[in-house]
Amino acid sequence: MIVGFWIAATGLALVLFLTVHLGGVGMALVDPTAFEVYATSLHHQSWLPWLEFALLAAGLGHPLLSLQRARANLQARGPAAGPLRSRRQGPWEPLAALAARLIPWSGSLLLLFLAVHVLQLRWHRPSAGAELAAVLAVLQEPWCLALYAVAGAAAGLHLLHGVESAGRRLGLLEPANAAVLRLGGRGLALVLGAGFALLPIALVLSPAVARVAGG
Q: Contact positions toward ligand HEM, by CB under 6 A?
A: 18, 21, 25, 52, 55, 110, 114, 117-118, 121-122, 125, 131, 135, 148, 151-152, 155, 196, 199-200
Choice between 118 and 190, CB closer to ligand HEM: 118
Q: What is the number of helices (H) and of strands (E) in the chain?
A: 9, 0
Choice between 32 and 152, CB closer to ligand HEM: 152
Least Å distance, CB 62 to ligand HEM, is: 11
DSSP assignments along 96-158, one per residue: HHHHHHTHHHHHHHHHHHHHHHHIIIIISPPPTT-HHHHHHHHHTSHHHHHHHHHHHHHHHHH
Least Å distance, CB 187 to ligand HEM, is: 18
131 class by beta-carbon count within 10 Å (0-12 exposed, 13-18 middle, 19+ buried): buried
Least Å distance, CB 194 to ligand HEM, is: 11
Choice between 51 and 74, CB closer to ligand HEM: 51
Choice between 72 and 208, CB closer to ligand HEM: 208
Least Å distance, CB 198 to ligand HEM, is: 8
State the Cα angle at 58 between 54 and 63, rounded to 5°. 160
What letter does residue 83 receive in the DSSP assignment?
P
Choice between 65 and 199, CB closer to ligand HEM: 199
Least Å distance, CB 96 to ligand HEM, is: 20
Q: Which among 139, 146, 157 is positioned nearest to 101, based on CA atoms? A: 157
